[in-house]
Structure formats: structure tokens, C-alpha cells
Structure 1
Amino acid sequence: MENGSNSAENPLLNESEKVEEPKRAYKTQVCGNDGELRYFGIECSRSGKRIKKSEVNPLKPSLSTKIGCKARVRATLQKDGRFMLTTVNLDHNHDLIPTDSRHFAMNKKILTPMKRRLEINDQVGIGVSRNYHSMVVEAGGYESLTFDERDARNYIDRARKLRLGEGDSDALQKYFLRMHSQNSSFYYMIDVDTDFRIRNLFWADAMSRAAYKEFGDVVSFDTTYLTNKYDMPFALFVGVNHHGQSILLGCGQLSSEDIDIFVWLFKSWLNCMSDHHPKAIITDQCKAMQNAIEIVFPNTRHRWCLWHIMKKIPEKLKGYSQYESMKMDLQNAVYDTFTKDEFEMK
């Protein structure tokens, strides 16, 4: 990376130097028409000045963190594909509190020995709060730990979801191997964590793979059917055949519902189906699913499930005096129209 100012005095370009004082910052970026990042800037959250409003009561002044701080870094993409730093100002006009850096997400980390201890104590029935506070005492205070109680609780929640009962992992793998030996078209994928514990699963039998070749234009994906005793979401890929019947196109067992796991599941399913993308996919209004679909199925039309949309009618409209008639009109427009123009008119 090149520097438009004095690179010799710029600590950002010297990896041996570390800025000890944390700086809470705002980030801005600009992309071109091709989606490529062209410009980015990072500035202190206390930059700018408070905008005074005439209607503000002078007897009740509002507090503001905006004090015109000039600390910022800006960079622009050059023709050679590298970013040039056009602005580098590391001087703040206010005091900084280095000990607060442990609250920033970028500095939060649970080290492996701490993870082991959290899990072991959880398995013997020690609560998260008691578990965490014992670590605080040993470390010599909250500021000596790189995570807080909420981080510990979130980690235990994830660890519980990954933890299978004794013998379950072996039984599961033996089942998959037996099914594959009976029919080589049986497909399965097992995702494990760094300790080789099963985290996510995907499988599809020969009938599902054959059905997708014939009825794979539109696929419905849902994780709301049920959860098992391990509190792991059960995900289904479902299609519709020429008789209007639902057909199973693959199954997944997930440790959680975040973007990375959905990406793994979608890629596993796509690989199983010979990399043949569906023309459309229907899901509920889950942001993580939406982001994963944009990554794995960029050319597939993504639509929200009609049932999930319609079930919100009471929530959104029940407070109106003409709720019943409005509900009937909406249902009529949705279920009793067959063309786009007719739907738009109603």
C-alpha cells in the first residue's frame, strides 16, 4: 500500500508499531458500478459538530459526542490495483481510554484454554455466571479478560449445540456409510469443528437427486419445521412435482443459523445436485439466508414464503377498525388472482 503523505511517519504502514490507545471509528466506503471498492475512509466517531436546533429547550441541553475530532484515515484505489492513503491523521482532540478497548468486538477473543474450561465446567453443571466470575477473580479483574460474560454465554450456547451424545457421532457416520454402500447415489457431507466434533450435516438419497433433475426449477428452503433434542435446526429443501405434491430434495442438520453455515449447506446441496442452480428459491424472511443465497445462488430469483408474509396480517393490521374487510380484500388479491395485472388492480 502506498501513502500519499509521509509514509516514514505513518505508523499504519509499520507493522512493528502498535497503537495502544483504542479509537472507536466510523467507516465509509464507495464502490464503482462494477461493485469493486474504490474508496474507503475511517474517522473518529467524535468527528463533526453537533447541529443545534432552535426548538431545543436551553434549560435541558442535550449531550453530544461530536466535538470536531479530525482523526481519520482515507484511501483511494489506484490504477495498479493498490490503495493509496490520501489522508492520515492519528491525533485526537480528546482523551482516550485504553482499558475500554476490551469492549470492542475486534478485540474480543476467548482463548483455547478458556474455552476448554468453560465447556468442562458447563458439563459438570457449573452455571455460566459462576463460571465466568471465577475466571475474573483468577485474572485479577474484568479488565484483564478479553471477553465478557455475554461472550462466554454465547460460546457455551454454541458448544452445547455442537455436542452430540455418547455414541451418536459414530452411529450417524455408520448409518451414512451403510446407506452409501446400499446405493452409491446416496450423498452426504459432514462438517466438523477444529476438535473434529460434528457441527453440520447434509444428506440426500437417490430419489431426491433424481427428482431434482425433473422438478428443480423452484425450490423451497425452510428451517422452521422442528428441532431435535440437541436444539439443532432441521433444514429441508423441498420441491413440487407434476401432481402438485411436495417432494424432498435434501436435508440438513445445522448447529446454528448464520451466514457461514447457510453458505456451507447451500454449497453442499449444490454440489450434490451436480452444480445445477434452481431458477427460484423460496425462504422465510431470514437475513442470513438472504445473504447466503446472494453468495451461492447469485442468478437465482429469491422470493419470500407467502405463508410467512400472510401470517403477519393480524400483527400489522388488527388495530384498524376495518381489519376484517381489509383482511378479506388482501386474501382475495393474493389467492384469487391469476395474472400480475389482476393482482395489481386488486
Structure 2
Amino acid sequence: MTCQLQKDGMLEVVSFHKQHNHEFAPSPMKQMLRSNRKITPAQQAFTDDAEKFGVSIKQTIDLLSMQVGGYENLGFLNVDYKNHVNSKRREALKRGDGRAVMDHFRKMQLEDPSYFYSIQLDDDNQILNIFWADSRSIVDYGHFGDVVCFDTTYRTNSYGRPFAPFIGVNHHKQSIVFGAALLYDKTIMSFKWLFEIFLSAMSGKQPKTIFTDQSAAMANAIEDVFPESNHYENEWIVAWNDMLEIYDLTDNPWLREMFDVKEK
């Protein structure tokens, strides 16, 4: 449709092309159009409080949908909310926490020349993933790094990022830390970057066995970066404990010490 402005200020339709038109979106779907989708100030305040208390994105969306009588009444899509949360987290790092992290690592490296850290940045020079290990952790890995437990199910921090430590056991059966990471997400790209940096910090030594939580992305990254390692997920530990129970082997000291998975 083409309009022309008249002398009296009115618009006059001078041409109309029917083939360029389309059906209007049905009323229940209008709010899903990009131009109509938005997170209201009240919803933003609610989500900010949820972030402070560590409520997950999915749980927050569920709560908001209950308040308005269903997901169709939210006024935004899940991806809009995720973008909002990620924007807030990145803004927080940009305001000064990123510089504080860098200052801390530089300070630690001055005190401990063997202190290792690496930071992955995105195209906008914003922090994505972080890994660090002190000299004691690196030495311990050299002695006791044949078996490693890597877990991303620990409680997330104020930025909602997964905290992921590399854990082992020394000759006194004490838990030791080989290094730790703060991840942006749990994608294969983040895991591959982390495992490659871990190898670099540990002079290329791969663990003989690595225990992890259940994650397809993590498993794929381990297969690519740690091809020499035996990988077991939590489901294997559950099966092992079930086997001990079924065959009444829970009191067998050799089996219990073999992987030390019965008591935690």
C-alpha cells in the first residue's frame, strides 16, 4: 500500500497491492510477535530477586507463568528471559568484577610464580570462562592425578555460572584440588576450552580415569581432549554401589577402597 500526503494533512491511499499482504496474527499470538514481546518492570524486579537467591532460570519462568495464569500470558519467550539474565550478568562483570578478577590473578602470580590461570574472552572482550590452579595443585596433580573427579553440579555463584573443581585423592585418602573453573555455560565449546587449558597447566598429563556428572556435552569434550582417559559418569558409581549391595560386598575393604564410592 502506498499513501500520499494531501494539502489538508490527510493521507490518501494511491496504490494497493494485495499480494504483499498477509493474514493478521490471531489475538492470542499477538504478544509473541517480536515487537510486542517485553519483560515488564515488575517481572524484571522479580527476576533480579530470583537471581540473588540462586533460583534457576527455568524455576523463575515457571513462577512467573503461575502468577499470570500460564506461559501464554507471560508476554515474552524463554529466550527473551535468558537474554535478559545473561545481559545482566555480563553487565555486572563489565562494571568492575572482571578487572577485580584480573587484579587478583596477577597478585597471586606475583606471590606464586608457578600460579596458573587462563581467561577466555568473547568477541567483545567480555569474560566467558576462567580456570586457575596454584603451584601446590599442579604438583599434587603430578603425583596423584591418575584419577580425577570433575563436577559441575556445585551451587552456582551470584552470576549463575557453574563452578567446576577438579578433585583428587592423595596417599592419605584426603581430598585435594587440582584446579578450578568458573564457566559461562555447560556447552561442548566451554568444556573443550577448559580441558585443553587444564592439560596445558598440567604439562599435557591426561588422567587415567575421570569421573564426571552426566552431561553429553562434557562426555564429547572428554572424548576429544582426553582420548587416553577412562570416563565414568555418576550412573556408573550408582551401579557399582548397587552391585556391592546385591552381592553383600559392602564390608569388603578392598572393593570399598578401590574407588571409595560407598561413603562420602
By the TM > 0.5 criterion, same fold?
yes
TM-aligned CA distance change 1:281 to 1:162, over 3 Å: farther
Q: Check conservation: 2:131, 2:179, Cα contact below 8 A.
A: yes
Structure 1 contact 161–232 (Cα < 8 Å) conserved = no
Aligned residue number for residue 304 of structure 1: 233
Moved over 4 A (4+): 121-127
Where does the alignment leave 5 or more consecutive residues of structure 1 unmatched?
1-98, 100-113, 128-147, 314-325, 340-346
User: Quick one: distance in 2 between partners of 1:327 and 1:217?
Assistant: 24
Q: Distance in 1 between matches of 2:222 and 2:193?
A: 11
Equivalent residues in 2 for 1:103-142, closer than 5 Å: none
TM-score normalised by L of structure 1: 0.48
Q: Considering Cα pairs closer than 8 Å and 6+ residues apart, tell me whether 1 or 2 has the greater RCO.
A: 2
* Kept after mapping to 2: 8 A contact 1:281/1:302: yes
The number of aligned residues is 190
Unaligned runs of 5+ in 2: 1-21, 23-33, 45-75, 256-264
Any residues of structure 2 matched to 1:14-25 within 5 Å, and which? none
Aligned to 2:246: 330
Post-superposition offset of 1:224: 1.5
2:181 is aligned with 1:265: no
Shift of 1:193: 1.4
User: Does residue 229 of structure 1 match 2:158?
Assistant: yes
Q: 1:170 to 1:125 in 2, by over 3 A?
A: farther
* Structure with the bigger percentage of helix: 2
Return 327-336 or 221-230, whichever deviates more.
Answer: 327-336
The alpha-carbon distance between structure 1 residues 334 and 328, as it changes in their structure 2 partners (threshold 3 A), is closer
1:251 to 160, 166, 180: 180
**Aligned to 2:153, what secondary structure does the other structure show?**
coil
Deviation at 1:250, TM superposition (A): 0.3
SS in structure 2 opposite 1:164? helix
CA contact (8 A) 2:188 2:220 kept: yes
Q: How does 1:2-13 map to 2 (within 5 A)?
A: none
2:103 maps to which of 151, 171, 174:
174
What does residue range 67-78 of structure 1 map to in structure 2 within 5 Å?
none
Q: CA deviation at 1:196?
A: 1.1
Q: In structure 2, how many angstroms separate the alpha carbons of the residues matched to 1:335 and 1:290? A: 32
Structure 1 pair 337–254 and aligned structure 2 pair: CA distance change class (3 A): same
Q: Secondary structure at the match of 1:189?
A: strand
Matches within 5 A, 1:73-92: none
Query: 8 Å contact 2:244–2:250 — kept in the other structure?
Result: no
Pair 122,182 (structure 1): closer, same or farther in 2 beyond 3 Å: farther
Q: 2:165 aligns to what SS in structure 1? A: strand
Q: 2:245 is aligned with what amino acid?
A: D
Displacement of 1:124 in angstroms is 7.5
Of 83, 92, 95, which residue of structure 2 is paired with 1:164?
92
**Structure 2 SS opposite 1:281:** strand
Deviations 1:220-261 (A, max 9, x none): 101112211111110000111000111100000011111110
Q: What is the CA deviation profile of residues 111-142 of structure 1, one whole-angstrom value per residue up to 9, with x for unaligned ones?
A: xxx9xxx9xx8798776xxxxxxxxxxxxxxx
**SS of alignment partner, residue 140 of structure 2:** helix
Q: CA RMSD in A?
A: 3.4
Q: Percent sequence identity over matched residues?
A: 37
Q: How far off its partner does 1:308 sit?
A: 6.1
SS in 2 for 1:167: helix
